[in-house]
Amino acid sequence: MKYFLFVILSIAFSILACSSSDSGVQPESPEKPGFVETYVFLGDPFILLHEGTYYAYGTSEEDGIGVFVSQDLLSWERVPGNRLALSKQNSWGDRWFWAPEVYVVDGTFYMYYSADEHICVATSDHPLGPFKQIQKKPMIEGEKCIDNSLFIDRDGKPYLFFDRFNDGLNIWVAELEDDLMTVRMETMKKCIHVSQEWEEVWPRVNEGPYVMRHNDKYYMTYSANSYESPFYGIGYATADQVTGPWTKHVGNPILQKPGELVGVGHSAMFTDKEGKLRIVFHSHRSTSSIHPRYMNISSVSFEELDGEQVMVIDENYITPKLIVN
């Protein structure tokens, strides 16, 4: 289970510096007197670009979901007053707020997240929130599920990908009603489960799905091994239909222990201001300590290999800074 500790913003940069010119590219220090730097401590991070501003959400708070703001992906700031995007008063659950993803559809912002090991959805009219759960119940009642991710296909049909706790932790998909909140239970279908050798270092885990379409194929990134393992990593599977069948890439993992980072995973993708495809993921604090996990960003490309488009994650990641006044 994805237990986590509080965000620790007072740890000195020198303790946490784990990227070098060989293992990652660090942003330059901002020239702002009176400001100090630390890392952006977020597990299961997700980045939304909206109207020229980046918003980052993730697992970090005990009482809800926090949000960070940036203009350049390198330097991030908290909302004044450290206001939460989602507070537990506006949620069905009251603990274990994990893995939020935020999408804007027809002017409404939808936050899909896990609370008390159940998948939930809340809405707002602004990416900063406050997000409120209109239906004070989980999307799937009576069953623990986590890591929900929205995908809307070319025909406008919405789907929800998520993890179920059966046969270990594995990834499923289901259609949503047009309200983007109601799961069509009769459409639930299994996508992938632990099946490759690299995924068997730690107990049975396939989690953190994110789906995109490239050309005429669907790509699902996912993470395997427990998030506690230094061998936590990212793989992907492909399908010709959004509901599968899904086939895992034979070259998995595509990101595991890049540079000096360990425990990398639970990723999501987004397109930056220059139109470049990016991926955001978390890593352990260090090679000897898991928490607090922090956010890293890299680039994604597709390369031709044996007649197929292969997804590649650039190992020259950046580890953004949090600017604290």
pLDDT in tens, 291-300: 999 999 999 9
Catalytic residues: 44, 207
Write down the pLDDT at residue 8: 33
d(CA 269, CA 45): 10
Write down the pLDDT at residue 36: 62
Q: Which domains does the chain have, with CATH numbers?
A: 38-324 (2.115.10.20)
Write down the pLDDT at residue 202: 84
Residue pair 269/301 in contact (Cβ under 8 Å)? The answer is: no
Residue 254, pLDDT above cutoff 50: yes
d(CA 39, CA 8): 9
Q: pLDDT exceeding 90 applies to what percent of the chain?
A: 82
First to last CA, the chain: 34
- Eight-class DSSP state of 88: G
pLDDT in tens, 130-178: 999 998 899 999 899 999 999 999 999 999 999 999 888 999 999 999 9
Q: Is 13 helix (H, G, I), strand (E, B) or coil?
A: helix
Residue 13, pLDDT above cutoff 80: no
**Tokens at 142, concatenated:** 């009576």
- Eight-class DSSP state of 14: H
Q: Is 295 helix (H, G, I), strand (E, B) or coil?
A: strand
